């Protein structure tokens, strides 16, 4: 798809003439072509134990690097360093008073691949509704019961999800599923923003990780309330 799109927007000289050429390039290091793979129907590399004894590890120094020589060369701290995220109990304690939970997103959902397959009935039967996990003690504090519809809110927006109680998590955290939209919704937008957890996360460029550019998908502060309570407060 990407190869075809590149030709349509005038960048074909930077890609391949067709899909098969692209696959040949990808399989090249394995000494195979796309035709070979289709005939064999599998690919397995050399199985050899203790390869590092002969060639070392796949690092510039060929050693186990307790500090990253690549990051050091690029001018970054070569050692693992903890930095508080832009939002958090310690970085923004005043905000934590108003939004007392740490929002974790990105948990994998069996049957789905990110936002895909919501329209497949048999997969949807396994995952009918968007779920958010909350510790039972936190749920009791907020007046939330198993299966209640709740509103999760951050500085940037809200999302509607169904609560499920889980004791195996930190009481300060809530863990929300991602990738939700509703193909059955007759609205042309299919409710993309109703339960979209990305509406709550912070993707401001200046607050992304300075080394890797990653967004803060597991550190946003939020509050969570039963749907009826939130509606009454707004009313």
Q: What is the pTM (predicted TM-score) of this model?
A: 0.76
Beta-carbon-side half-sphere exposure of residue 136 (alpha carbons within 13 Å): 3
- Rounded to whole angstroms, the Cα distance separating 110 from 16 reads 34
pLDDT at 68: 93
**The predicted structure's pLDDT at residue 108:** 86
The per-residue pLDDT for 235 is 57
Q: Look at residue 216 and give its three-state secondary structure.
A: strand
Going from the C-alpha of 100 to that of each of 17, 50, 53, 58, 175, the distances in angstroms are: 54, 49, 51, 43, 14
Q: Characterize the bridge pairing of strands 101-107 and 173-177.
A: parallel
Give the pair of three-digit tokens for residue 182.
Answer: 């509703």
What per-residue confidence (pLDDT) applies to 21? 94
The angle at the Cα of 212, spanning 206 to 214, to the nearest 5 degrees, equals: 60
DSSP 155: S
Q: Which domains does the chain have, with CATH numbers?
A: 2-73 (no CATH), 93-234 (2.40.40.20)
Q: Is the C-alpha dihedral spanning 149, 99, 166, 85 positive or negative?
A: positive
pLDDT of res. 168? 96
**Could you list the pLDDT tens digit for every one of the 235 residues in the chain?**
888 999 999 999 999 999 899 999 999 988 899 999 999 878 887 788 998 999 899 999 999 999 999 999 999 999 988 888 889 999 999 999 999 999 999 888 889 999 999 999 999 999 999 999 999 999 999 999 999 999 999 999 999 999 999 999 999 999 999 999 999 999 999 999 999 999 999 888 888 888 888 888 888 999 999 998 765 556 5
């Amino acid at each position: 798809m990407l190869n075809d799109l590149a030709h349509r927007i005038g960048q074909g000289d930077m890609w391949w003439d067709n899909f098969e050429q692209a696959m040949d390039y990808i399989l090249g290091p394995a000494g195979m072509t796309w035709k070979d793979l289709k005939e064999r129907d599998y690919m397995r590399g050399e199985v050899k134990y203790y390869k590092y004894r002969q060639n070392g590890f796949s690092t510039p120094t060929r050693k186990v690097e307790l500090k990253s020589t690549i990051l050091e060369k690029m001018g970054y701290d070569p050692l693992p360093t903890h930095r508080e995220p832009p939002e958090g109990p310690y970085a923004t304690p005043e905000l934590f008073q108003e939004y007392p939970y740490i929002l974790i997103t990105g948990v994998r959902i069996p049957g789905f691949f990110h936002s895909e397959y919501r329209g497949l009935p048999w997969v949807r039967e396994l995952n009918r509704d968007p779920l958010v996990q909350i510790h039972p003690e936190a749920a009791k504090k907020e007046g939330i019961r198993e299966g209640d519809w709740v509103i999760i809110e951050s500085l940037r927006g809200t999302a509607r999800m169904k609560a499920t109680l889980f004791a195996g998590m930190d009481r300060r955290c809530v863990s929300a599923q991602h990738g939700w939209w509703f193909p059955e919704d007759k609205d042309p937008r299919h409710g993309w923003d109703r339960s979209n957890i990305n509406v709550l996360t912070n993707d401001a460029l200046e607050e992304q990780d300075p080394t890797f550019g990653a967004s803060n998908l597991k550190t946003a502060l939020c509050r969570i309330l039963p749907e009826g309570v939130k509606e009454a407060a707004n009313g």
